[in-house]
Structure 1
Amino acid sequence: MPTEGHAERSDVQRAWEEAFGAPPPRFLSHSFMQRALIHDAQCRRHGSLPAKTLRTLRRLAEDAPTSRIAAPDLRPGAHLVREWNGRSYQVEVIEGGYRMDGRTWTSLSALARHITGTTWSGPRFFGLSGRRKIPA
């Protein structure tokens, strides 16, 4: 797979099959597949992935359900809104973190902890993770 430029989807799919031994699931985006292939090449060169990660990747490659679907890739400029205890919180995604009420946080979990006063998974608190079915 070329490392520079923008590889064609069919080239990326062939590279995926070579790397993971199965065609990619239909729902994977072109950019995700490219990033996964680059990560796989780094792991092969510098060391393997943890067993749990390998199992999850195998399930994804087989189109099998996994226990958790990753949160979507949030780009700067996106806004998250969450109501908690009668107040609406609006969070802006910025480069390298999140901004709310003029303050910046580096993780959604830290922001959720600030809002609730307890430990929360930030992506789960903002409704970005958990068991979800992705349309085919």
Structure 2
Amino acid sequence: MRKRQDLDSEITGVGDLTRDDLTAAWTKTYGCPPPKGVKRGLLERPAAWHLQAKRLGGLTSTVEKTLGTFVPDRPTRKPAFENLEKSANTPRRPQF
């Protein structure tokens, strides 16, 4: 129970990090800086997920393998969307 409370407080502490700290954590994790103009919440959520995954375990190898079948040529350190060519014929990604 104590470990869970510690994890909860660590995850809550992510909200207290500076934007520079969150950006540094993103860069360290993904090997590239976050997209320009990304909102703070999108920096906080992956940081919190990685804390939780480190403590409680991340995705199982079966899940990682299954996800890999959906994006077989994805780069290991950079998001897949960075490899898309920009052209007038390329459909836009939906904005959420």
Structure whose residues are more often helix by fraction: 2
TM-score (norm 1): 0.37
Which is bigger in relative contact order (C-alpha 8 A, separation at least 6)? 2
TM-score (norm 2): 0.48
Structure whose residues are more often strand by fraction: 1
Quick check: which has more Rg, 1 or 2? Answer: 1
